[in-house]
Chain A
């Protein structure tokens, strides 16, 4: 853990080379102080990125939820047509298979969605 309180915040923008150096954790300076300064700049950069992340994460989540909602809306229409207008046994069988497959696929999608780290994607 690096404590940056003792270092006064810079009023000017840090030079690009220093940012690059800090972001790649390349220690050019021979002293611990220069390394600490670089690390603090990196921390500031990370804080700036993390402040913008929630918005992107919210947009991503809303998009996915909207997409899944549209999926179930269309799935309902298909199921309704198959059971309501279908003549014979075949449409009912299709409806059952479709329903079962939809539930399985939807569950898998939700599990995979939970595993996604959107912050990792954005930071890359």
Chain B
């Protein structure tokens, strides 16, 4: 039972809600981890606040014997911080782009109750372009991928995805295989 419970944390073939029977996920994209590291860095600073405050006001706390209160307030602070960290991680994790052998599903999680999902079928893709902007994006190899659909429909932009060139190649392969009928082999 424990083994089956732990199996959900092991790597497995991805699946998602609304997946067709013979539909396979080719790529699962999230924003580059660098984007979340910046926020985590801010939370690390916030983590230090009670420690710094405790050191600064140590004599004041010891005179009034307020250590219990201080520790309690600190624990509340850390609870809030824990919540904030995982709120950010949740939004980061749920912002996904799924590239399957049939379509592209872009899921944008703006807030916990603010979600936008767009879907684009492979046979409607016309043009794919990438945009890497700045030194950090160049060195860490992430950038935006823009997918232009047929007709004058809106563009699909996947922001700050890792290795945008590879993503572009995969999408183009998918599109080509859809048009030619030959199944693409993604490397």
Contacts and interface: CB of A to CB of B under 8 A. Distances in A.
Contact of B93 (A82, A101, A113, A124): A82
Given A78-B112, A85-B94, A96 B9 contact: yes
Contact of B28 (A88, A98, A113, A116): A88
B86 A112 contact: no
A101 B112 CA distance: 20
A54 interface: no
A121 B68 CA distance: 10
Given A77-B112, A92-B9, A105-B82, A87 B75 contact: no
B78 A105 contact: yes
Residue of A67, A77, A109 with most partner-chain B CB within 10 A: A109
A89 B11 contact: yes
Contacts of B69: 116, 121
Interface in B1-39: 8-12, 14-17, 28, 30
25 contacts: A68-B79, A71-B79, A74-B83, A81-B109, A85-B17, A85-B107, A86-B93, A87-B14, A87-B28, A87-B96, A89-B8, A89-B11, A90-B30, A91-B94, A94-B86, A94-B89, A98-B86, A105-B79, A109-B76, A109-B79, A112-B71, A112-B72, A113-B72, A115-B72, A121-B66
Nearest to B6: A96
A117 interface: yes
A86 B94 contact: yes
A81 B69 CA distance: 34
Number of contact residues on B: which range applies?
A: 35 or more
Contact of A105 (B17, B30, B75): B75
A68 B80 CA distance: 10
Given A81-B112, A92-B8, A116 B68 contact: yes
Contacts of A105: 75, 78-79, 82
B129 interface: no
B154 interface: no
Contacts of A96: 9
Contacts of B65: 120
Nearest to B17: A85
Contact of A117 (B12, B15, B68, B112): B68
B75 A94 contact: no
A106 interface: yes
B87 interface: yes
A76 to B, nearest CB: 11
B145 interface: no
Given A74-B83, A87-B16, A82 B72 contact: no
Nearest to A101: B82
A118 to B, nearest CB: 9
A81 B68 contact: no
B97 to A, nearest CB: 10
Contacts of A112: 68, 71-72, 75
